[in-house]
Amino acid sequence: MPTPRNPRIAEELARDIFAGVYAPGSFLPRELDLCNTYGVSRSTVRSALQQLVSGGMVVRISGQGSRVCELTHWHLLDPRVSDWMARFAKPNPRIRRDIFAFRVAVEPFIARLAAEHATAADLLAIETAWYNMIRALEAPDRRFEGRSHDEYDVAFHEAIFAATHNLLWAQLSHMLKPAIGLLVETSNHSAAELSDSMERHRQLLEAIRLRQPEQAEKAALSVLERTGLDLGFANFFDSFSLRPCLPGAAELPSS
């Protein structure tokens, strides 16, 4: 048996599942094989597999082994699973697209509510996140005061959710933080024109500050359309009757 080491069995298996090494319907290596690979006891392997079972990613089948479940069964809002998703789901286009579709469906409505209910403290939080995004972009390493541009971007959207003053929406933003972070990191690191993205964020901030619900909804869509372009989802909005219509948005390519 190999020399024992500190195993991160569940994490490594989750990484391979998110990456498609083990596709839905396929079986993970046998317990005995995992014991040999990691140099651990069978109880340790079973404990690791139970984490995947608890997250809805794997089902144990007596006499057969551990089979990967379909994506629809995964508990993506479970903190452990969402953390794995944020770190390991980049190669999985379906997950990225479904997260993006959820944001398109939800965030314009959230922006409208924020424009109606934001307090001075909420506006300060949104504005501070935006200014810190700008300051981070000005730095060679895209960091300002110990936090990255991506972290400030996530904070910007979290602050908008909080500005709804609806308990469930605010809690949902906390649960979705890793998922939002996944798209923010992927889109911002591939964006051809970050200045355009920052201007769209500014227009969203301004619409909320001026208490203009309809403009806030459109501005949120405009931000997401920029994200979609940077993610390679250029045709995504073709199926929507409501398209961003802030200044400059109409000239964006639709294919």
CA-to-CA separations, 179 to 98, 99, 133, in angstroms, rounded = 10, 7, 19
Percent of all residues in the chain with a pLDDT value above 70, rounded to a whole number: 87
**Domain spans of the chain, in order of start:** 9-73, 93-241
Do 9-73 and 93-241 share a fold? no
Q: Give the pLDDT band (50/70/90) at residue 251.
A: very low
Q: Report residue 71: phi and psi, to 5°.
A: -55, -35
The phi and psi torsions of 66 (rounded to 5 degrees) equal -110, 115
212 in Cβ contact with 203 (< 8 Å): no
Q: What is the pLDDT of residues 24-58, one digit of tens each?
A: 999 999 999 999 999 999 999 999 999 999 999 99
Question: What is the token pair recorded at 68?
Answer: 């990967």
d(CA 123, CA 118): 6
Residue 253, number of CB atoms within 10 A of its CB? 7
Which one-letter DSSP state was computed for residue 215? H
Tell me the C-alpha distance between 216 and 156, whole Å: 14
pLDDT for 58-111, tens place per residue? Answer: 999 998 999 999 998 999 888 899 889 888 887 778 888 888 888 999 999 999
Question: Is residue 2's pLDDT more than 50?
Answer: no
Nearby residues of 39 by Cβ (< 8 Å), 6 or more positions away: 1, 2, 3, 4, 5, 7
CATH class of 9-73: mainly alpha
**Cα distance between residue 19 and residue 202, in whole Å:** 35
Residue-wise pLDDT tens digits, 156-184 = 999 999 999 999 998 888 877 888 888 88
Residue 185 has pLDDT above 90, yes or no: no
Residue 208 clears pLDDT 60, i.e. is over it: yes
Classify domain 93-241 at the CATH topology level. Four Helix Bundle (Hemerythrin (Met), subunit A) (1.20.120)
